[in-house]
Amino acid sequence: MSPNTIPVVHEDARIVVVDKPEGLSSIPERDVTLPSVQRVLEGARCERLFVVHRLDKEVSGLLVFARDAEAHRMLSMAFEDRRVHKTYAAVADGVIAEDGGVIERPIAQFGSGRMGVDERRGKPSRTEFRVLRRRAAHTEVEAHPITGRRHQLRVHFYAIGHPLIGDPRYGDPREQAKWPRLMLHAMRVRIPHPDGGERTFEAAPPTSYRVVVEALP
């Protein structure tokens, strides 16, 4: 895979921010023959990049890497301490009646990489969202994961009866298979920069996302 397929949104001496395509893992997978964002970028740039956070393979959007150990430590702590503000664009199945809201349901792992709501074993998880546009049978939303659990947005919308369309893990498999991709895109992230201050980065949804939205009735 060419590094040109991974657009660089921003880079400086401390960080690299890229717009990850859907279908490409953030970090190397068990199958070492498969490409990943980290491996492609490191190979092209001949430098080590430090993983700060991850996006699910099926998700597109902003991904931040640190270029030195101190920047990695600082940014990792910022994510852990919830000092990073993330904004996602998503399309949910069904029509959400509320104009916005908060989903607070504890999330736990159930095996084989699948996560789910578990009131007893789950870790506290919070998602805030607002409705952008209602369609005949779907809802466009803007979502903010306050906590950073694995598959959090996917699990939370599934838990309220509105799974994200095109999701291969959550929702009716036959219905989900009709869509060309998971409709979830990390479009904005605000981080404390290792050199001080805050920086906000943005990446518009890619063509693969927009064509689905434009085709919705």
Is 12 noted as a catalytic residue in this protein? no
Are 133 and 110 contacting, i.e. CB atoms less than 8 angstroms apart? no
If you write DSSP's letter for every residue of 96-146 in order, what string do you get? --SSEEEEE--EEEEETTEEEE-TTTPBP-EEEEEEEEE-SSEEEEEEEES
Helix (H) or strand (E) holding 92: strand 85-93
- The number of helices, as runs of H, and strands, as runs of E, in the chain is 5, 12
Torsion of CA 135, 88, 29, 64, to 10 degrees: 160
Residue of 12, 19, 56, 93 marked active site: 56
Query: Cα separation of 42 and 48, whole Å?
Result: 6
Q: How far, in Å, CA of 180 to CA of 14, rounded?
A: 36
Determine contact, residues 21/31, Cβ cutoff 8 Å. no
Which residues participate in catalysis according to the annotation?
56
